[in-house]
Structure 1
Amino acid sequence: VSHQRALTEGGRVLLEHGGSFRSFISQAGNDAQKMVELIVEKIPSYRDEATYEGRRISFYKRAQILVADFWGVMEARGEGSITNMDWLTMFADYRVPQALVYLGVLRYSDTLMQVLKNGELLLSGDRREVEIRGCSIWSVELIKERLQKLVQERDGQTCDINATVIDFYLWPFAKEHHKEMAHIPIHHTRCIYY
């Protein structure tokens, strides 16, 4: 899918709703999962999927970011809230995995590290690319569970932190500390999904 086609798809959907993203997304109610599913259904270039060991894996990075950004705007304006935000995962790209490796949360095999250091282009859907993205999602889920447990132990109350908030921390952290992380390569994949 070309960038032009992706823009055309998004523009078509907006035109069908008077140019309003809010009008379009309102069809999903206030549920984050339904919003992502609506975006992926109506805008095919958001279908960030791969086949892994015979199973379809859905990352939906851009669709999830779109919902998370909408959530952030709605919260900032005090215009209601989006439910089911915990359904969203971290936004599986190239920068957050680098931060996870730097922080010792994720570890690449020596073979994979060498491939990445050599700058080898991983095709979208390549087993290694899917594993990096999938393991990053799982790592952030484990971080989320640990943070929730720590807050429960420390404060005796539940913590509603979600993967979106953790991603919103990790991505800028990686950008800010890019010099310290320079020895950890990012994976290179040319596609419209990141």
Structure 2
Amino acid sequence: MTPARDTSSTPGTGPRGPVAGLNAALDGIAQLFKVLATLCLAVMVGLNLFNVISRSAFGVAYGWIFSWTLLLFVWMLLLGLFVYVRQRRDVVVDIFVTCLPTLPKRIAALFACAVGAAVMLAILRGAPALLSMQSAKMDGIDLPIYVRSMPLFVSAGLVLAHFVLDFISIATGARPAFPKQTEPVEQGAVE
């Protein structure tokens, strides 16, 4: 059996059909979430800058800004969860797995995808009960508490789709298991 090669950067190769379409959609959603997370950060900085200037210049501080800052911070983190996983920025300890032959490496990658999918399913399984308990209004904001946790479940659903597509791509040989990283190592970084 020949080792699978990384075809993700070669045009015209890699997954085709519905898997490729779903991968492209997930990449688009990840880009949208990245923009939304950046907007959350920009609004947080703007609101807090306004509050600091208002407090120092006029002696007036707005308490609702703290509540919105917390909400936007949570949204930024939970939207960023999917982006982080999708762009393969998550921590992967693959020192031993990369030394394995192709078949055991593929089995390990499939197992990792299955575990990731199982964790996302566990999060999503608890979503209806958790959301139904969070109907009270947030402090300082006239929105239900479940608005704060909605991005968690959206990201969890998208991460689940990411793991399922990775499982399919690895199982069919369209993507190699534990491909070598192509990004250059930053100057001074420890490997």
Q: Does TM-score exceed 0.5, indicating one fold? A: no
Q: TM-score per shorter chain, which class?
A: 0.3 to 0.5
| TM-score normalised according to structure 1 size | 0.33
Greater fraction of residues in helix:
2
> Which has the larger strand fraction?
1
* Higher relative contact order (CA closer than 8 Å, sequence separation 6+): 2
